[in-house]
Amino acid sequence: DGVRRRDFINVAAVSFAGVGAVGVVLPLIDQMNPSADVLALASTEVDLSAIQPGQAIKTTFRSQPLFVRQLTEKEIAEADKVDPSTLRDPQTLAERTVDGKKQWLITMGVCTHLGCVPLGAGEGENRGEFGGYFCPCHGSSYDTAARIRKGPAPKNLEVPKYSFTSDTAILVG
């Protein structure tokens, strides 16, 4: 009768949902375990030798914009004089750089609000009122350590994993 048919339909719907969930989970697991050769290909070596203090370059890392910038003494001092406890995403410049080389600021060029590419790495671009980077999409301003200081972005520009391979080169990834 009607009651039994409804029971059967409910059971069938649950079973179908279960099969669907398995189908979705497997591809996610594959993406989370890229093979070693894929990871190696995804590292990026960046030559720093042509980047003068006050200059930056835009390159790419794993298909996303990467900013590589040499800070001036003044920009380092401006970043260091900020009390990190007053920041939305508290971090010091030293924590955002490696090997004590605070002049080399390596960050993703991806605004942590909705993912636009901030200005400030290209020659003559607007660096915003805190002298770092400025996102024109909704007005997020980052300071000279690429920390969020004003506007809607919740986090500092992400610092990828990287290391120095010589005095004038880094390996990102």
CB of residue 119 vs ligand FES: minimum separation in angstroms? 10
Checking DSSP bridges between strand 131-135 and strand 104-108, what pairing results, if any?
unpaired
CB of residue 128 vs ligand FES: minimum separation in angstroms? 11
Closer of 46 and 141 to ligand FES (Cβ): 141
> What residue has token string 């506007």?
151
* Chain Cα centroid distance, residue 162: 13
Q: Which of 74, 88, 138, 155 is catalytic?
A: 138
Q: Which residues contact 120 (CB under 8 A, 6 or more apart)?
A: 56, 67, 126, 127, 128, 132, 133, 134, 142
Q: Is 113 a catalytic residue?
A: no
Closer of 53 and 139 to ligand FES (Cβ): 139
**Cβ-based neighbour number of residue 52 at 10 Å:** 9
What string marks each residue from 134 to 173 as x (binds ligand FES by CB under 6 A) or -?
A: -x-xxxx----------xxx--------------------
For residue 53, the one-letter residue type is P
82 binds ligand FES (CB under 6 A): no
- Residues serving a catalytic function are 138
Residues that bind ligand FES (CB under 6 A): 111, 113-116, 135, 137-140, 151-153
